[in-house]
Amino acid sequence: MLNWRGGKPVIRFGTSGWRAVISDEFTFANLRRLTRAIAGVVSRRTGEPARLAVGYDTRFLSERFAAEAAKVLAEAGGPAYLSGEPLPTPVLAFAITHLGLDGGLNITASHNPPEYNGLKFSTAQGAPAPREITDQIEAQLAHVSDDPVVDQHAELLSLAPREAYFARLQELVDVDALRRRPLRVGFDARFGTSRGWLDRFLEESGATVVRVNDRRDPLFGGGTPECSGANLKSLKQAVKAEGLDLGLATDGDGDRFGVVDRDGKEMPPNMILALLADDLLRTRAWAGGIGRTVATTHLLDRIGALHGRELYETPVGFKHFQSLMEKGAIFMGGEESAGFSVAGHVPEKDGILAGLLVAELVARRGPGLGAHLHALFAEIGPLYSHRRDRRFNPESREILELRLKEVPASLAGESVRRTVSIDGTKWIRHDGAWLMVRLSGTEPVVRLYAEAADEATVSHLLDQGEALLP
Question: What stretches of 265-321 show up as alpha helix (H) in DSSP?
Answer: 269-283, 299-306
What does the DSSP 8-state code read for residue 190?
T
Q: Cβ–Cβ contacts within 10 Å for residue 162, how many?
A: 15
Q: Which amino acid is at 223?
A: G
The answer to whether 359 and 372 have CB atoms below 8 angstroms apart is no
What does the DSSP 8-state code read for residue 467?
H
HSE-up (13 A, CA, CB side) for residue 117: 24
Q: What is the pLDDT along the chain (470 residues), one digit of tens a residue?
A: 444 444 456 788 877 789 999 999 999 999 999 999 999 999 999 999 999 999 999 999 999 999 999 999 999 998 999 999 999 999 999 999 999 999 999 999 999 999 999 999 999 999 999 999 999 999 999 999 999 998 766 679 999 999 999 999 999 999 999 999 999 999 999 999 999 999 999 999 999 999 999 999 999 999 999 999 999 999 999 999 999 999 999 999 999 999 999 999 999 999 999 999 999 999 999 999 999 999 999 999 999 999 999 999 999 999 999 999 999 999 999 999 999 999 999 999 999 999 999 999 999 999 999 999 999 999 999 999 999 999 988 889 999 999 999 999 999 999 999 999 999 999 999 999 999 999 986 678 999 999 999 999 999 999 999 999 98
From 319, 300, 318, 320, select the one nearest 310 (Cα to Cα).
Answer: 300
**Can you give the pLDDT at residue 6?**
44
Measured CA to CA in angstroms, residue 315 lies from 291, 335, 409 at distances of 11, 10, 25
List of domains in the chain: 2-162 (3.40.120.10), 179-380 (3.40.120.10), 384-467 (3.30.310.50)
Give the CA radius of gyration of the chain: 22
Catalytic residues: 110
**Can you give the pLDDT at residue 153?**
67
What does the DSSP 8-state code read for residue 229?
G
Q: How far apart are CA 47 and CA 66, in angstroms?
A: 25
Q: Which amino acid is at 39?
A: A
Q: Which amino acid is at 101?
A: L
Measured CA to CA in angstroms, residue 454 lies from 3, 97, 177, 432, 457 at distances of 43, 43, 34, 12, 6
Q: Cβ–Cβ contacts within 10 Å for residue 153, how many?
A: 7
What does DSSP say about strands 330-335 and 52-56: parallel, antiparallel, or unpaired? unpaired
DSSP strands (E only) in 202-358: 208-212, 246-250, 257-260, 266-267, 289-293, 311-314, 330-335, 339-342
